[in-house]
Amino acid sequence: MVSVGIQIVEGNPHLRSLLGWHLQQAGYRVHQSASLYQAREVFHMRQPTVVVLDTELSDGDALEFCGWLQRQQMPLVLMLSARNSEADIVAGLKAGADDYLTKPFGIQEFLARVEALIRRQRATTPPAYLDYGDLKIDLVQRRVRFKDELVDLTPQEFSLLYVLAQAGGVPLSRSELLHRAWPDAIDNPRTIDTHVLSLRKKLETDPRQPSLIQTVRNVGYRFNPDFLTLNQTQADESANNKKPPTPGTPSMVALDGNWR
């Protein structure tokens, strides 16, 4: 629980401090924002797991901000509001909130809802580590190893490779890749081609005849896990087919220089 970051976006300073104190006592890392303007800056810097969002903020539309958060593909959103009509609750949930808590509320209920959101997220979170044999992708440290060598990737290349690899062989369109890899980007989907070419140069034996990141005509691109499996199988067979040393043939030399 200590590693979970929670951002409170609440215009009421007393309530903001009260919620922050109880969350800290429960073991969470807490970041507080008094406005939507502050909230964007804090979100980019801290990347919280949960955003507790007040709907009555003076500097913008909380529902629009909630939609913006969902495009980041990152946080869970617990919306707090004095508006308790069915229409308001439905509007908040449709805007992207994962839960909606009406004011006034009890602290224990608030903490229980936060905990429930985190449990739900842990059950559905994509894997932080993908292991395809020769290719290993670490989402936490944002590192890629290929054939036991660390691969130097840009942040954009890493995100794109992770999205492709996580799909496990399912073809993805350029628009899908752009949205999943960089949710906030406004680039042309054709930008994907440039980054795919760069990835191929770093990962493929022959980038002109790619085996790992394949082009799917009229669709986009797919990651080919079978290529890595085939390579591993061939390597294992090669190792198994090595002939053992002929009896009487020196196979090792000891530190004293004598053959054993």
> How would residue 58 be classed by pLDDT, with cut points 50, 70 and 90?
confident
- Please tell me the predicted confidence (pLDDT) of residue 188: 80
| Residues 158-172: tens digit of each pLDDT | 999 999 998 888 899
Res 230 pLDDT > 50: no
Region of poorest pLDDT, from 12-26, 59-73, 74-88, 117-131: 117-131
By the 10 Å C-beta count (0-12 exposed, 13-18 middle, 19+ buried), 162 is classed as buried
Q: Which residue has the higher pLDDT, 189 or 250?
A: 189
pTM passes above 0.85 = no
The per-residue b/e assignment along 16-33, b for 16 or more CB within 10 angstroms, e otherwise, is beebbebbeeeebbbbbb
pLDDT at 259 over 50: no
Q: What is the pLDDT of residues 181-203, one digit of tens each?
A: 887 666 788 889 999 999 999 99
Please, is 251 exposed, middle or buried when counting C-beta atoms within 10 Å of its C-beta (0-12, 13-18, 19+)?
Answer: exposed
Measured distance CA(154)–CA(63) in Å, rounded: 33
- The whole-number average pLDDT for the span 66-75 is 78
Q: Tell me phi and psi for residue 80, to 5 degrees.
A: -110, 135
86: β partners: none
Say whether pLDDT at 8 is over 80.
Answer: yes
> Residue 13: what pLDDT?
95
Mean pLDDT computed over every residue of the chain:
83
> Residue 168 has what pLDDT?
80
Q: How far is CA 113 from CA 14, 17, 62, 205, 214, in A?
A: 20, 18, 20, 50, 43
What the chain holds in terms of domains, given with CATH numbers, is 5-124 (3.40.50.2300), 129-237 (1.10.10.10)
